[in-house]
Amino acid sequence: MKAFLDQLRVAPLDEEALKSLAPNKFAYLGDVIYELYVRNYVIIKEKGKMNAINKATVRYVNASAQAFMVKALREVLTPEEWKVVIKARNYKSGKGPRNSDLGEYRYATGFEALLGFLFLEDRIERLEWLIARGIDAIDEGGEKS
């Protein structure tokens, strides 16, 4: 990402700017990051037509599944990571869920915020490990979305 920002002559966020970023901005970024990783996984795993691929993707990309994932990962998150989740979960964005209950929606937002935070911290290996463990938890039968 640094090389990309260098091409645009934009500096990455420094530590102070990163710490002052609103949780919904982390979640905004984390949402697309998570979707990209899941789509990559599903495209490789699912050999069917696009309808089957879309259905497989939705199994992982919905508030219920993401809330399940972050709760399943709780024991392996650092205190700093859990703080990002909770801060985003408690953030009042003014927007509510469309297809889930409010609690699941807020935990899902916390999960997305964690991914956005890790991405901006350039902790890609950790981000990928957490996504993989979350997908494993769903694949092992934990969430039936």
The residues annotated as belonging to the active site are 31
Distance between CA atoms of residues 91 and 83, nearest Å: 12
Record the tokens describing residue 110, joined without a space: 């916390």
Buried b / exposed e along 92-109 (16+ C-beta atoms within 10 A): eeeeeeeebeeebbbbbb
> For residue 95, which of 105, 85, 87 has the smallest C-alpha distance?
105
For CA atoms 112, 34, 50, 56, the dihedral sign is negative
